[in-house]
Amino acid sequence: MARLSGKTALITGAARGIGQTIAELFALEGATVLVTDIRDDEGQSVAKTCADHTPDSRYFRLDVRNEHEWQSATETITKTFGRLDILVNNAGITGFEGGFVPHDPENTTLEDWRSVHAVNLDGVFLGCKYALRLMKSHGGSIINISSRSGIVGIPRAAAYASSKAAVRNHTKSVALYAAEMGYKIRCNSIHPAAILTPMWDAVLGEGEERERNLQEHSAEIPLRVFGQPRDVAYAAVYLASEESQYITGIELTIDGGILAGATAAPRR
Ligand SMILES: NC(=O)c1ccc[n+]([C@@H]2O[C@H](COP(=O)([O-])OP(=O)(O)OC[C@H]3O[C@@H](n4cnc5c(N)ncnc54)[C@H](O)[C@@H]3O)[C@@H](O)[C@H]2O)c1
């Protein structure tokens, strides 16, 4: 039997990258998937793929920064499906989408700092708030996609690191709040690193430069390769399913060993 059979799942930022793969794997595992993003065309096409497995899967636009959009998503879900079982707060930005601007602690503008937090942190706060309301009568699983950057400092991507650290911590507040209230809602964070998605395009460049950069970055990963979106999606299926029913408030790293320790070692 499929591992998410009969469940309804909403995934933010699901038009491409990790969110897309989570959406498609969830559908394959039997979940009806609400694919959401601000990239409408790509989102529609992901929803179509999901609907091949679970026909009620669909796309709708949801800008995670906007509370009104969360409210209308809640209304749509209540009217159409009557319940939500799984939320994956996946949408995220680095701050480098429009090109390289300073993101170090000394030179980041307040505007750039806030725009990264608006998506990565406000978006997760709002998602958790409305998921708690939608799930509290019957239970569910909230999965927040943080980052290894939420565990260590990143000097040249300080807003990204700060927002992801806040997501790590908020996950634990949500997990404990839900437990205290007697809701059967679990909340966990996933901390990926070096997963090859379009998010890396700005960093890696194109053509030969991309190949060179890929090799250089890979050499710094203990497993020596970039991860794939499915490496994160398999973990999300586990945290979304009943298989993880005794797990709440954890942080799961998926990083090829990067956070296991320093690779610097005495050489012969
Ligand atoms: N790729 C990695 O190596 C890596 C590492 C650590 C953490 N992550 C996290 O994983 C998540 C997915 O990253 P990805 O690599 O697939 O990135 P991606 O850029 O490929 O996809 C991100 C998606 O989020 C959407 N999005 C952006 N702003 C939005 C908004 N305001 N409302 C709704 N959707 C919005 C984008 O349109 C896009 O479809 C992010 O939270 C990211 O921080 C990725």
pTM across the whole model? 0.98
Domains of the chain plus CATH, in order, are 8-197+229-257 (3.40.50.720)
Tell me how far the alpha carbon of residue 199 lies from the centroid of ligand 1, in angstroms: 7
Residue 180: its pLDDT value, please? Answer: 98
Residue 265: its pLDDT value, please? Answer: 66
Cα end-to-end span (Å), the chain: 53
Tell me how far the alpha carbon of residue 42 lies from the centroid of ligand 1, in angstroms: 14
Tell me how far the alpha carbon of residue 48 lies from the centroid of ligand 1, in angstroms: 20
Q: Decide if 22 contacts 86 (C-beta within 8 A).
A: no
Distance from C-alpha of 5 to C-alpha of 173, rounded to nearest angstrom? 29
Mention every residue, 6+ apart, whose C-beta is less than 8 A from residue 168.
146, 150, 151, 189, 191, 251
Residue with tokens 């993003």: 37
Q: Report residue 1's pLDDT band, with 50, 70 and 90 as the boundaries.
A: confident
Distance from C-alpha of 256 to C-alpha of 254, rounded to nearest angstrom? 6
Mean residue pLDDT across the chain: 97
Distance from C-alpha of 115 to C-alpha of 123, rounded to nearest angstrom? 11
For ligand 1, mutation pick of 24, 34, 93, 253 (most atoms within 8 Å of CB): 93
Q: Which residues lie across from 86 on neighbouring strands?
A: 9, 141
59 is catalytic: no
Instruction: Tell me the pLDDT tens digit for each residue of 102-152.
Output: 999 999 999 999 999 999 999 999 999 999 999 999 999 999 999 999 999
Distance from C-alpha of 136 to C-alpha of 139, rounded to nearest angstrom? 5
